[in-house]
Amino acid sequence: MVEGAAERLDKAIAAAIEGVSRRRARGLIADGAVFVDGKRCRVASRSLSKGTRVVVHDRAEAPEAPPEIPILYEDDEIVVVDKPAGVHVNETETSPRRSLEWILSERNVLVVHRLDVDTTGALVFARTKSVAADLSRAFAEQRVAKVYFAVTEGAPSVEVVDAAIGPDRRRPRARAVNPRGKPSRTELEVVARAGEFAAVVARPQTGRTHQIRVHLAHAGTPIAGDILYGGHAAGHVGGAVVDFTRPLLHAARLTLPGPDGPRTFTAPLPADLAALGSAGLLFPDTEGLASKA
């Protein structure tokens, strides 16, 4: 971190970090490894006022190129993408990785909801401020129907988890079931089992941070690969040891309200979930779930 003091960005970085020349500072800035007050900055000549917060990542941590983002749907109002794992939705100074917001910047997108960095699937962006306001209101009023697929360690024995969620005081990045938290409700359906694992369809009725992950952990069946909430990094599936490189959670279907009726968008099953189908962890066709949302 560099505390700016009324000087050029590249000069401030070189002065604050031992062994970094102004030339290297300009390279870091060009690579997108520098954030100014929480926003990625690529202008080496930017003037900093006293107290400006600057975060600098090592160039080696930055990806060589952003991943391709599959577009599920696009018009003048919205862009719906199939989010890959490992990509933040919006810019964050905690990581030099390119965000979806940055990758899609030429389309002038506005963030209206989020998926966790390692969650895959359908995600909508607005293209105008008025559409962003309408969609944000629809999410807040629970008028957006969402269907997720998850692989869990064990099969949940309940069909509904209705438990308030709030910050976990012991772990700053985590959430926890807390009676003082916000009301949260998730409907669960076990659709397949294979040994110690289950394929689960989750329909969150509210939209709290980490909601499905917290509720499944609370049910005693954490998501496979979800280390933060009690899942394991590997397990025996179909007679083989499978490494879980992320929490196996996928946003399969998103239904948005509209003046001409609801619009539904589906994201194909990602490769890591699809690979478990040979062991019996099969998920239903998303189109067949429409009447249950």
- Inter-helix orientation angle 9-16/22-30, to 10°: 120
Q: Outline which parts of the chain fall under CATH 3.10.290.10.
A: 2-61
Q: Outline which parts of the chain fall under CATH 3.30.2350.10.
A: 142-285
- For strand 185-194 and strand 240-243, is the pairing parallel, antiparallel, or unpaired? unpaired
Asked if 72 and 81 touch (Cβ cutoff 8 Å), the reply is yes
Can you give the pLDDT at residue 39?
79
CATH 3.10.290.10 fits 2-61, yes or no: yes
Is 116 known to be catalytic?
A: yes
Low-confidence residues of the chain, pLDDT below 50? 4, 290-293
104-117, pLDDT tens digit by residue? 988 999 999 999 99
Can you give the pLDDT at residue 291?
41
CATH 3.30.1330.20 fits 142-285, yes or no: no
147-186, pLDDT tens digit by residue? 999 999 999 999 999 999 999 989 988 999 999 999 999 9
pTM of the model: 0.82
Catalytic position from the list 116, 168, 226, 272? 116
Can you give the pLDDT at residue 92?
66
CATH of domain 71-138: 3.30.70.580
Can you give the pLDDT at residue 34?
84
The residue with tokens 């309200």 is 257
Residue 4 φ/ψ, nearest 5 degrees: -65, 150
Can you give the pLDDT at residue 98?
77
Can you give the pLDDT at residue 292?
47
Q: Outline which parts of the chain fall under CATH 3.30.70.580.
A: 71-138
Can you give the pLDDT at residue 264?
97
Residue 136 φ/ψ, nearest 5 degrees: -60, -40
